[in-house]
């Protein structure tokens, strides 16, 4: 594997870790995840080698949209699991701020085949809204946020084509419902699905990734596509499926620095509860994401990426991401 592999996994929400992050589909309580993933999620390891990746991820979801237009009021439903109903316009959204500490591990079985896993050690969702919005009983609350261990994912990755200038890779992964998804809100009811650390469902993800590097040029480009199939949990709630396409370029400045820019497009389907489409869920978006990587020593890399949405279109009115970032380090053994 050549030195410039640092850019080989800029795929965004729809890659392997999309299933582990807070739900990428904008939903009733505005949960989302950064469009960024790191090179730990792509590339195959040398046989017998191990890669460990530790990252911190943050997403500020405070933009209020109605379709693709700004709005001053975002009224969203509540999923009443006790009565098995959807209560429309239940509360007015203000903000959701998502954080995650994510540990990724990959092991090379052969020069082309690797197995990998990812553990969301801490998933946090700080949330603010008004109950009984527009009535004399309107009250502010910030007590419905949650935190905890998230949903673990595991999978296999195989290099379908390996040439001097080309790499084509595919991966399959499954997310298991290891995170809590029945935590209670401040009123003692089961919290909104998008505010839980986990989803309660088994999900599958398939990804194809192609990268081209014409040596000895310092530039590299890639294209990728992924499809996520989300399952239904025991509460009869199902997050909408997700499709992601991405492309980008990277530039290696010497042996230590890599600068990159990627464009990411995502379609998130509408959620479903008890056979009904859930209002204020599902969206389309495009983001630009600059990034930088630094290798201070052998087999160690530090990285930082930013995300800036340039187009967003949501179903009904929702909170949407304003900006996000990922910082972390990756070590090979």
Sign of the C-alpha dihedral computed for residues 327, 169, 312 and 67 taken in this order: negative
pLDDT at 43: 55
List pLDDT tens digits, range 229-260. Answer: 999 999 999 999 999 999 999 999 988 999 99
pLDDT at 13: 32
pLDDT at 42: 55
Residue identified by tokens 């600059």 is 290
List pLDDT tens digits, range 119-172. Answer: 999 999 999 999 987 788 889 999 999 999 999 999 999 999 988 889 999 999
What gap in Å lies between CA 149 and CA 139, rounded to an integer? Answer: 30
What gap in Å lies between CA 13 and CA 35, rounded to an integer? Answer: 4
What gap in Å lies between CA 324 and CA 18, rounded to an integer? Answer: 14
* pTM, two decimal places: 0.88
pLDDT at 29: 60
Mean pLDDT within 308-326? 96
pLDDT reading at 322 higher than 90: yes
What gap in Å lies between CA 252 and CA 162, rounded to an integer? Answer: 21
Residue 259, H or E segment: strand 257-268
What gap in Å lies between CA 64 and CA 84, rounded to an integer? Answer: 28
Instruction: Give residue 35's pLDDT band: very low, low, confident or very high (50, 70, 90).
Output: very low
Omega before 220 cis (within 30°)? no
pLDDT reading at 8 higher than 50: no
* Chain mean pLDDT for the chain: 87
Sign of the C-alpha dihedral computed for residues 280, 281, 282 and 283 taken in this order: positive
Mean pLDDT within 253-276? 94
């Amino acid at each position: 594997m050549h030195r410039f592999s640092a850019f080989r996994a800029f795929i965004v929400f729809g890659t392997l870790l999309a299933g582990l992050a807070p739900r990428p589909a904008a939903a009733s309580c505005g949960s989302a995840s950064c469009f960024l993933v790191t090179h730990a999620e792509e590339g195959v390891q040398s046989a017998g080698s191990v890669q460990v990746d530790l990252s911190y991820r943050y997403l500020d979801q405070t933009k209020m949209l109605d379709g693709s237009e700004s709005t001053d009021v975002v009224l969203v439903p509540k999923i009443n699991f006790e009565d098995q109903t959807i209560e429309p316009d239940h509360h007015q959204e203000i903000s959701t701020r998502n954080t995650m500490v994510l540990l990724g591990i990959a092991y090379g079985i052969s020069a082309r085949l690797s197995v990998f896993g990812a553990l969301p050690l801490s998933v946090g969702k700080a949330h603010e809204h008004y109950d009984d919005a527009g009535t004399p009983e309107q009250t502010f609350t910030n007590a419905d946020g949650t935190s905890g261990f998230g949903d673990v994912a595991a999978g296999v990755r195989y290099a379908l084509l390996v040439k001097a200038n080309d790499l084509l890779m595919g991966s399959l992964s499954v997310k298991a419902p290891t995170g809590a998804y029945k935590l209670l809100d401040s009123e003692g009811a089961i919290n909104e699905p998008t505010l839980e650390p986990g989803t309660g469902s088994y999900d599958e993800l398939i990804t194809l990734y192609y990268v081209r590097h014409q040596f000895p040029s310092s530039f590299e480009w890639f294209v990728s596509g992924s499809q996520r199939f989300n399952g239904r949990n025991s509460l009869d709630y199902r997050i909408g499926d997700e499709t992601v396409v991405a492309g980008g370029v990277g530039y290696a400045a010497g042996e230590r620095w890599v600068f990159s820019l990627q464009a990411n497009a995502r379609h998130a389907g509408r959620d479903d509860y008890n056979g009904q489409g859930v209002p204020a869920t599902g969206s389309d978006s495009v983001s630009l994401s600059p990034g930088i990587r630094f290798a201070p020593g052998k087999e160690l890399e530090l990285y930082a990426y930013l995300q800036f949405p340039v187009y967003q279109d949501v179903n009904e009115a929702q909170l949407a991401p304003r900006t996000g970032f990922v910082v972390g380090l990756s070590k090979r053994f």
